[in-house]
Amino acid sequence: MRRTGASATELLISELVTNAYLHTAGPASLRLTALGDGRLRVGVWDSHPHIPAPFGRPPEDRVPDVPANADGGRGLRLVQEFATTWGGWPFGDDVLGRRGAGKLLWFEVGGERCSSATSVSPRSPLRATS
């Protein structure tokens, strides 16, 4: 069983929330869900529809290393190092008919690492599966 410490989980949450703040012009939301088998699911919704790596890739498809002199690009790689599983998807139109209602990025810590990204229904993106 893969265990992730609280400080690593805090780092991942901070990374997703900071990216939502820095790279979108609209609102954002954070949701934490404690699952029955010791897993924690973290979801961050923001108003931009782009799904960054690694959230749009299966866990075995590694994000390449970032050059040492690059200003950014390291943070989301941490998801691959510390999360058990992850995923993301863009939302289409919102309930008011506006285009591009943003995206949801999520990851889980605790439990066993999956061999491929877990699929969660977009109708209920953060439902508890215990």
Closest C-alpha among 107, 106, 122, 103 to residue 24: 103
Burial 56-88 (b: 16+ CB within 10 A, else e): bbebeeebeeeeeeeeeeebbbbbbebbbbbbb
Mean pLDDT, the chain, rounded, equals 78
Supply the pLDDT for residue 100: 64
Asked if the model's pLDDT at residue 120 lies above 70, the reply is no
pLDDT in tens, 59-118: 667 777 778 888 877 777 888 889 998 999 888 766 666 566 789 999 999 876 554 444
What 8-state DSSP symbol labels residue 107? E
